[in-house]
Chains A and B, each alone.
Chain A
Amino acid sequence: MRVLVAMSGGVDSSVAAALMKDAGHEVVGVTLKLWSGPNGEAPTAGCCTVSDAEDARRVAAQLDIPYYVLDYTKEFRDGVVDRFVHDYASARTPNPCIECNRTVKFDRLLSRLDDFDCDVLATGHHARVREGDDGFSLHRGSDKAKDQSYVLSMLTQLELARIWLPVGELTKPRVRAVAAGMGMRTARKPESMDICFVGQRDYRGFLRQNAPEVFSPGPMVDVDGTSLGSHQGIVEFTVGQRRGLGMAVGEPRFVIRIEPETSTVVIGGRDDLAASGAILDTTTWTSGDPGATTVMAQYRAHGDPVKSWLDGSTLTFDEPQEAVSPGQTIAFYDGDRVLGGALIAETIR
């Protein structure tokens, strides 16, 4: 097989490339150039920095595989960065890394497999793809603590048929051991945590340039409409937030919702925070729509899945959930198998 490996410069995708090569495949490594600042400067934080690309290049050289940098800056700006800014301005929780996976990494690279004369795309994600009688299925990775199936929950048969996730079969320590055993420069590299295009976690500076409206002052009100004063911009708040509300005494108070049209931040008690369910948007299924069904729903990258009833675009939690907010990705599981995913359009109180 000819395998295209998306190499970020991290240890996981380095090992993915090595495993593919060891398995006797003809491997081509690529790094996506996704972002450069206003003056063309490359990002210094996140998953796609200059030094990351250099690491990927050196690993590819060590593996003796051809390696290329592909320019996806336009697609990234249109599909991920603009969406990030729009989400902030409309008080939705942005998911830039998931959007990047969906609209750039998988969509674009898979659509070009033929161009590169490759049969499959391999990445360094911690999840597993299985082929059975009913087609391909997506499962949690072997290392439950590092599982990334949540961010892949939007994949469908179309993609799963052409994606390999070799490191999903290994635990993270095993991945590092493989890398170390091969003397790979990325073996002990720390994991990237930052969003690549904002850098150094300075999302405020980025938004100040790109979405100044999120810094405009607005009213802060109680759930019953009582005015609680004003705030300096909705950028300071997320649903479920308790700190920084300027009310340290009495019952714990939380951000219940944000109304972007009027820049209003609504405050309430723990009871007000609880969501009984959610209205979903852009639902996808890994193996087709199962109809109304019980699912285990996970609405945070490393949160515990909760038992829920899914019927069309309405999801109802068995137990009310806190910190559910519009814009979040929600993944549906049956055991460790991913059934599908969706975006939360609105919460049901």
Chain B
Amino acid sequence: MIYLDHAATTPMRPGVWEAMTEVASVHYGNSSGVHGVSRDAKNQLEQAREEIAALIGASPLEIVFTSGGTESDNLALKGSAWNRDRRNGAVVSAIEHGAVLDTADVLRRSGAPTQVIGVDADGHIDEEQLLAAVDDTTVVVSVMMVNNETGVVHDLETITRMVNERDPRVLVHTDAVQAFSSQDLDVSHLGVDLLSLTAHKFGGPKGAGILYVRDGTVLEPVLHGGGQELGRRSGTHDVASAVGLAHAMRVAAEDRDRFRIEVGGLRDQFEKTLVAGIDGLQVNTPLVDRSPHHLNIRIPGVSNETLLMRLDRAGVAASAGSACQSGAAEVSHVLEAMGLTSDEARESVRFSFGWNSTADEAGEAADIVIDLVGELR
């Protein structure tokens, strides 16, 4: 199987699983106890936290461990809105992941003034509309750094500065789960107040993530209980996952330059081959501000549902960008926000490359796609 669905999840980086199993078997304590076994686990946890903080230019207490991107996004938005008496509105982009969009909708239904900001044909947020939407009811703005379906990259540094100039009290959150493998990610440069990451997108375990919370930002917790994470996120720590997350993060950060050049090169070659080999192919991923490993294309006249099934049989794993719980391909809200019709969105597929993708795989997959499209047309 040629795996080209790394944006959905990517295999663990070497050494991650070994680090995790050691923690799970040797440092098994509950990190919140008073005895030596606990202190040992707590030590592992805090070491991981320090490592993670250093890798994104944060301080350790600004890192909150969560169960992944979805929880981090929920905590960022709900935690911001629920904490303020007067301000509780959220302003989010139309191409956010459901973890942000649906959370914003929950806030809207509970009475918070929530707005969804449109994007242009490339998927870039309309900055004027964004600023116009920010008013004295707004508590948080959320714009994702790299879109999961198309790979369009947003300049969070500029967006954050603009929002701060408009109103410095407004918090800026970014869902950066697709970004870590390829983007230099330093919160002191970005200026954001809240940033979500999840381990399994960069070679760590599933079910582990963090929310960066800028010092001084107070959030109402979503999970209440034992008061772990300075009360910001209760629940016994998954120390093994935290260590795995930190390990994968370090490996991915060290591999980032190579990833951009080599993995990006595979994607570019794959794209070139498809553009040359398929009449009428449309690239939904923008030409500039694109992440190196995503490629979203539309093949007019070919249903993505059919193509993905045929690719599966031919040994190529790709996706339609978003899938519902049943596994049926749904019409992409991201592509619709970019102005594609629902029929055009149903002709669109996403290929995403990863740290272990090879040139042979990319070449073979391109040939298979071109052959199948010829058969299906």
Q: Which A positions have Cβ atoms within 8 angstroms of B?
A: 28, 31, 33, 40, 42, 50, 53, 57, 66, 68-71, 112, 115-117
Contacts and interface: CB of A to CB of B under 8 A. Distances in A.
Interface stretch (B41-49, B116-124, B276-284, B306-314): B306-314
Nearest to A72: B328
13 contacts: A42-B326, A50-B326, A53-B326, A66-B312, A68-B305, A69-B326, A69-B328, A112-B306, A115-B303, A115-B306, A115-B310, A115-B376, A116-B309
B216 interface: no
A70 B323 CA distance: 11
Interface size class of B (residues with CB under 8 A): 10 to 19
B310 A116 contact: yes
Contacts of A28: 309, 313
A69 B323 CA distance: 10
A71 B306 contact: no
A38 to B, nearest CB: 14
A50 B325 contact: yes
Given A112-B306, A115-B303, A68 B313 contact: no
B329 interface: yes
B327 interface: yes
A71 B313 contact: no
Contacts of B325: 42, 50
Contacts of B268: none
A26 to B, nearest CB: 9
A68 B303 contact: no
A68 B326 contact: no
B214 to A, nearest CB: 35
Contacts of A33: 324, 326, 328
Nearest to B326: A69
Nearest to A33: B328
Given A115-B303, A115-B376, A70 B328 contact: yes
B330 A71 contact: yes
Contact of A71 (B309, B312, B328): B328
A7 to B, nearest CB: 13
A122 B306 CA distance: 18
Nearest to A71: B328
Given A33-B328, A53-B326, A70 B305 contact: yes
A116 B310 CA distance: 7
B306 A69 contact: no
A174 B310 CA distance: 34
| Interface pairs A-B: 8 shortest CB-CB | A69-B328, A71-B328, A115-B306, A33-B328, A69-B327, A69-B326, A53-B326, A33-B326
Contacts of A50: 325-326
A40 B322 CA distance: 15
Interface string B308-346: 011011000000000011111110000000000000000
A117 B313 contact: yes
